[in-house]
Amino acid sequence: MAKPIRRFGLRRSRRIRSRKGARRIPKGVIHVQASFNNTIVTVTDVRGQVISWSSAGTCGFRGPRRGTPFAAETAAGDAIQAVVDQGMQRAAVMIKGPGLGRDAALRAIYQSGIVLSFIRDVTPMPHNGCRPPKKRRL
């Protein structure tokens, strides 16, 4: 049995448009991951889909300066600017990690004008930790 010959050009021509800026997101979640070497700020919608993100490294900071509070503030402002333009008004903040950029990123989020519903520290804490190495024998 011969296969039917496929014809090209019969598909409907759909208009493809960019979704960037088309979405209106009233509520969201801001995740701040602050390590000693870098600070990563991710803005998601309520379902967890990433809308915008930024880090101290993408903002142009290199080396040890990525872990500074000023770099974290710049990264947070950069990530939030995109979602404020899309209409975000309320957000929850999840902060993870022991880095220096925790407070600075939170300060930048406050200054952006977004109303914060709550701030939660989600730093992973071990309940009992890893098994220690066996005792040294001399």
- Which pLDDT tens digit goes with each residue over 31-71? 999 999 999 999 999 999 999 999 999 999 999 899 999 99
Token look-up 């930024």 returns 54
Residue 10 lies in a domain: no
pTM equals 0.77
Q: Are 56 and 38 in contact (CB under 8 A)?
A: yes
What is the domain extent for residue 44?
25-119
Q: Are 55 and 38 in contact (CB under 8 A)?
A: yes
Residue 31 lies in a domain: yes
Q: What is the mean pLDDT of residues 62-91?
A: 91
Residue 17 lies in a domain: no
The residue with greater pLDDT, 10 or 61, is 61
Q: What is the domain count for the chain?
A: 1
At 1, is the pLDDT very low, low, confident or very high (cuts 50, 70, 90)? low
d(CA 66, CA 35): 10
Residues 6+ apart with CB under 8 A from 26: 87, 88, 89, 90
User: What is the CATH classification number for the domain harbouring 50?
Assistant: 3.30.420.80
